[in-house]
Every structure is written in structure tokens, then in C-alpha cells.
Chain A
Amino acid sequence: MRVSMSHMGNIYVTIKAWAHKLGRSDNLIIPPANSQRTLSLGVKYSPEGLCLPFKLTLGNLIEACELGADTLVTVGGDGICRLGYYVKTQEQILHDLGYNFEIIQLSLSQQRVFGLLKLMRRLSNNASWFKVISALRFGIAKQIAMDKIERLVQKVRAVELVKGTANRLYAKAIEAIDNADDYNTLKKAQRDHIDQLNHVAKDTQAKPPIVGIIGEFYVVLEPFANLNIESELGKLGVEVRRRTFISTWAKFSFFFNYLGLDETTRIHKAALPYLKRDVGGDGWESVGEKVLHAKEYDGLIHLAPFTCMPEVVAQNIMLSTKENIPVLTILCDEQMNRTGILTRLEAFADLLKSRRQARNNTQHKGS
């Protein structure tokens, strides 16, 4: 049995950790990182009207099949957005391409952590529950460490004197975390890299504008899908913040939601005057986050795949909310062009800086 799955951000590190802890590293195939080839394969075999996450994940699965994977795990769900139907279409396409495989759908929205644990047990040839749970815990610990470092990287990128230092350290950190075998090495890797990031030469005078990244889960988390927008913003001297992290999501949907805590309740409440109900995907959250962050941030970047159903609704509603904050919507698809996006980001960063200056000037006059 050779198991594989699609990429999304750095989640492969966590999955590798699970397989390693369960002693099944040899049975796991990590598909090659997202590349132009992945995208081209996905685009070639997908129906044209489908969204970018579908095309990229299909590309990953094709590349995994080429490497000999015979068990594909895909995340599905019972939602309103197209994600719930991905698995059937992808299965059909891969079959028509002549690959021989079994596809396993993991419905996280329904079965939550139990579904994941059961699947891990099944794929590890019935390892003991103790082993499965400790593997899950270790994987999530790695994810938490990576996300902690990424949050710091988002801050450092905006103010570092030598552009690219934070990115280099981040890549090194992920590698170190990936290689960590136990909690001690993991902790050490985390501590070391946080230390190094704190000691990067920074412009202490700078007060970078803050931009929130909101929108659809996959394109927010997968740098290849959004042309690594966070790093580009960092180069422009903009600090990036976002709510969506895999570890935060996992913490809430695996543990805290059972205790009646839900991070999204607050966001939904904020969205109520404009959107009364869930429209699938992350549409409701996008509207809510605009309302919530209007005071805290200087601007928002709304990322959505082209033709994403929930985000189109959100986008239309966001245009007319009372809360006034600049929003730049970027639609991600295979036609996305680097120069075009960079130009728009530059203009957006300039806008935020001049808005801030104008605000400071009026405050000075007031006092």
C-alpha cells in the first residue's frame, strides 16, 4: 500500500510526522511540491469551469499516481461549496486516465478528529490507539511550531533590512522541524529559529502598515496558489496578519468545538447585519472579518479562487458595508500573472501608506 494526498501549505510535514510515528514512512508518498507542471496537469484534465484548488489538488494526485501511489486520501465534506464533490469528479478523471487506485474520502466537517484517527489507524495496519493518538499529537505539535514561526516571519519580513532573510530562515526552520524526531528536538528547533528571527537586523523606526489576509482557505494557505503574496507584501514593507492557520483550525475543529468554543462565532456575529446565513466555504467569515478588522488593520486582501461560489457572494456584500477599510480582491486562477499582481500590490501598499499619512496629519492638526 502506497498512500498519498494533495499538498496544502506545509501540511505535508505533519503528515510525514504521522507516518513516521506510526512506522509507515515507507508507505507514504509525498507528491512533488506544487510546480508549473502540477498546475498544467491539473488544468489539462479538469473541466474548465472548476476552481483552482480543484485543479492543483488534481495535479498533485496525478503526480502521486505517477510515483506509484495506490491509495489516495482526499479531504471532502458535506458542505455547500464544490469541495464536497471534488472526490467524485477527481476519482472519475483519474480512472479515465487509466490509474489504478483506491480513493479514501476524509469528511472532516462531519467526523472531525475521530474520522482522522480511524483513518490513521486503518492506514497504519491497526496500530494501537495509544500509538495513533500520540502520533496525531506529535504531528499537530509540529504544525503548531511551524505556524508560530510563520507568524513571526510575517512580522519580520516587513521590517528586515536585508530582504529575504526571514524567508531563508523560515525555509530552514521548516526543514529542521521536518527532521525533528521527538519533542525535544522539535522544541529546540523552534526555539533556535525564533531566536534567530528575533536577531535579524531590523529597521526599528519603521511602522509598517498592517494588512489582513482573508478569503478562501486553500488559496490563503497555499503559497503557490497565491503567488506567495505574503512574501511579496513583506518585500513592499507591509506586515501581514491572518486568522487562517492549519494549527488554529485543527485546534478548534478537533478539540475546542466539542467544548462549545468556536472561534468563528464572533466573526459570524459581526457579519450578521450584512449576511444572515452560512453560504458555504468561507464566505460568511470573509464578510465578518471585514467588519471586525476595519478598525485594527490598514487594509485587507481578499483571496478567492476564480468562480468560487461563496466568495462571489462575500465579495458583492463586502463592497457595501458601512465599515470602511480598503479591500483588494485577488482572484486566483491559472491565468494569474506575476507582474500584474505585483503592480496591484504596489499600488495597494502605496494607498495604505498615504492613507496612514493623511490620518496622522489630521491627528496632528487636531492636537
Chain B
Amino acid sequence: MIIGIPRALLYYQYYPMWKTFFEELGAEVVVSSPTTQATLSSGASRVVADTCLPVKIFLGHVISIVERCDYIFIPAIRSVKRKAYNCSKFLGLPDMTKAVIPESPPILDIEIDINKGKRHLYQAIYKLGRHFIGNPVKVRQASLAAWQAHLKYQQLMSSQGLTPPQAIAKLSGEVELEAPTSIQATIALIGHPYILYDEHISHRLIHRLEEAHNKVLTPEMLTTEELESATTRLVGNAHWTYEDEVVGAGGHYLETRVDGVIGLMTFGCGPDSQMMDMVHRWATKLGATTFMSLTLDEHTTEGGIVTRLEAFLDMINRRKRRQIEVCA
């Protein structure tokens, strides 16, 4: 049995976990190829115009693998933390995919809601495992193995400072990239992993920064505790599940005074429209770190991004030079 996993949205957070789970149960996993313009166009053609960019890309990825798999795995993740919910689009994702891509193979749809208690979670996992194997013990073993894989993945990113794609490459035994030698400045990127690491959406922003001899920090390089405590300081209790990546990381990096922080969000993102604003206000209040927020959509051009990036880096360099002059 072949399970298709689209390389979009929650792939970057949970891929090693999902892969382990399905392979333990004897299934084969197919991942769609990295995003291209064709992925975006095919996804965008199916939905109404004001659907957000990451969802359009997600649907494009689904379309690209419909013929190569028996099932497509699209979880509906309602919450992974108490009293914090996920954006509507994640909740409606399985139903929306079914509605707009009628030719898709059956969708494996599992509802994760921590607010409903552990029992609900275990039942959901068992329900998913039953598609492959009737034995609950085997499903339990597979889910424990998957959880271990997830912990290892997270630990790899936070302890060694790897980005999700690098960590996934390392877990599957591929060689990783060398760290840059001379460092001009340390720049933190904040935003959801499906924006930061999708090179089509972000226009290779990480590579561009590294080519200009900057050290790039991302939210995944922080531990969960660091993220959560910064979130609490900025906005109190988090309202949405995946907002630590924005406010938590933003707050932490602004407070630890890296040289610059770039916030990446897509146009039409509900939670980010409020959260990025909170980070912006915090940056203005602290006033020590250069902050820039970039709103991306399908019309964003490479030239525009490069220009803003150059201006941003120039500003940081000038600021640094001035500090040195003052010291001397």
C-alpha cells in the first residue's frame, strides 16, 4: 500500500513521525517533489481566489501525487496544546481537498484534538492504524516508534541548529551542507516552516542570506520551552497552535538581540495578520533590533524580495559600523 504525503503545510513539522508510523505498519510512503510554479498553478486553479497561498500550494502537491498512491494522508489537526486551536483551514483541509480534487484517492483523515483528552487521541491513532493492520498492539508499537522519531527530529534541529529540510536529509542519511565560514551578521527568520523552507514561496531567502555570509537562525532551532516562555511574555496565552513559530521565536530573537529579524507571512493568513503585528509592536518597543516583515503571495517577484533584502542588510551593516565607531 502506498501512502502519499504532500510536501506542504505540516510536512515540515511532522514528516519523520508520519513516515516512521506508516513504514512500521508496512506501508510505503511517497512524498511529492518540491514546489514549482506548476504546483502552484494547478492548486490555485481549483480554489476560490482568496484562499491563502500555502493551501493553494498544498492542493497542488496533492494533485501531483494523486496517481502515484493508494491513499493520501491529510490529518485534521485541531489542537496540539490545551486551549489553543488551529486555523480553520487546517481543520477543513481533508474535506476541502475532497471537495476540490474529486479525483483524489481515499483520504486518510485523522482528527487530532488534545482538548478532548488522551483517550480521543489514542482512538484516533488506532482508527488510522486499522487501515493497515487489525492488531492494536502493533499500532501502539508503530505510534511509539513514530513518537521517538519525532523527538529525535526535534532534538536534532534544536541542538545542532539544523533547519527541517537539513534534519530530514540527515535522518535519511544524506550529506549535509557546510556551515558558512565568515559571518557578517546573524539574521533570524520567523514564520511558519511551510513558508520558510518552501523555496518557491520564500524565493530561496535562506540561501540568499547565507550567500551574503549571514548566519541564519530559524524558529526550529529553539527549544519548545524557549518558544513558549517568549510567547507568554508577548501575548499571554497563545490562541493558536502554531503561533509559537511567529511570536515565540520573534520575541526570543528580539530579546536576545540578534542583528536582524525578518518576519515572513503570506497574504491572507488569519492568525499571522495579528501575530506578526504583535511582533512588530514588540520590535518597535525594544528598538534594538532591525525588523522587517515580508508579506508574500503568488504575485511576489524575486526582484522585489532581493531589493528589500539588500536594503535590509545594508541597514544592519551601517548600524554595526556606527556601533564600532562609537566604541572606538
Contact = CB atoms under 8 A, between A and B. Distances in A.
B83 A78 contact: yes
B88 A309 contact: yes
A313 B87 CA distance: 11
A249 B19 CA distance: 45
Interface in A183-228: none
A337 B94 CA distance: 35
Interface residues of B, number: 41
Given A80-B91, A85-B239, A307 B99 contact: no
Contact of A82 (B48, B50, B236, B270): B270
Interface stretch (B6-14, B170-178, B273-281): B273-281
A306 interface: yes
Contacts of A319: 48, 99-100
A281 interface: yes
Interface in A79-107: 79-82, 84-85, 88-89, 92, 96
Contact of B89 (A49, A79, A277, A312): A312
Contacts of B271: 82, 85
Nearest to A82: B270
Nearest to B269: A49
A315 interface: yes
Contact of A80 (B47, B85, B272): B85
B223 to A, nearest CB: 25
Given A277-B111, A280-B91, A283-B92, A49 B239 contact: no
A89 B273 CA distance: 10
Given A80-B88, A96-B281, A89 B76 contact: no
Contacts of A363: none
A47 B276 contact: yes
Contacts of B278: 88-89, 92
A309 B87 CA distance: 7
Contact of A309 (B78, B89, B99, B236): B89
Given A49-B295, A317-B96, A312 B239 contact: no
Residue among B88, B96, B240 facing the most chain A CB atoms (10 A cut-off): B88
A276 B100 CA distance: 15
B274 A313 contact: no
B92 A50 contact: no
A309 B78 CA distance: 14
A352 B270 CA distance: 34
Given A309-B88, A320-B100, A315 B277 contact: no
A310 interface: yes
A19 B215 CA distance: 59
Contacts of B83: 78
Contacts of A313: 88-89, 91-92, 95-96
Nearest to B87: A309
Contacts of B47: 316
Contacts of A82: 270-271, 273-274
Contacts of B50: 306-307, 312, 331
Contact of B76 (A50, A277, A316): A277
A96 B278 CA distance: 12
Name B's interface SS.
mixed
A49 B267 contact: yes
Contacts of A315: 48
A240 to B, nearest CB: 24
Mostly, the A contact residues are loop
B240 to A, nearest CB: 8
B287 to A, nearest CB: 14
A278 B91 contact: yes
A320 B78 CA distance: 24
Interface in A38-71: 47-51
Nearest to A81: B88
B235 interface: yes
A84 B99 contact: no
B34 interface: no
B304 interface: no
Nearest to B94: A276
A50 B273 contact: yes
B86 interface: yes
A291 B180 CA distance: 58
Contact of A84 (B51, B239, B269): B239
A78 B82 CA distance: 11
Nearest to B76: A277
Interface string A269-312: 00000111111110100000000000000000000001111101
Contacts of B265: 49
A281 B99 contact: no
A280 B85 contact: yes
A281 to B, nearest CB: 7
Contact of B91 (A49, A84, A277, A329): A277
B270 A309 contact: yes
Contacts of B111: 277
Contacts of B106: none
Nearest to A314: B92
20 contacts: A47-B276, A49-B269, A50-B274, A51-B270, A89-B277, A92-B278, A92-B281, A274-B99, A275-B92, A307-B270, A307-B273, A309-B87, A312-B48, A312-B51, A313-B89, A316-B47, A317-B99, A319-B99, A320-B99, A329-B48
Interface of B: 47-48, 50-52, 76, 78, 83, 85-89, 91-92, 94-96, 99-100, 102, 109, 111, 235-236, 239-240, 265, 267-274, 276-278, 281, 295
Which are the 5 A-B pairs with shortest beta-carbon distances? A49-B273, A313-B92, A47-B277, A309-B88, A309-B270
Interface of A: 47-51, 78-82, 84-85, 88-89, 92, 96, 274-281, 283, 306-310, 312-317, 319-321, 329, 331
Given A275-B95, A307-B270, A321-B99, 19 more contacts: A49-B265, A49-B270, A49-B273, A50-B273, A80-B88, A82-B273, A85-B240, A85-B271, A88-B236, A89-B277, A274-B99, A276-B94, A279-B89, A279-B92, A280-B91, A309-B270, A313-B89, A317-B92, A331-B50
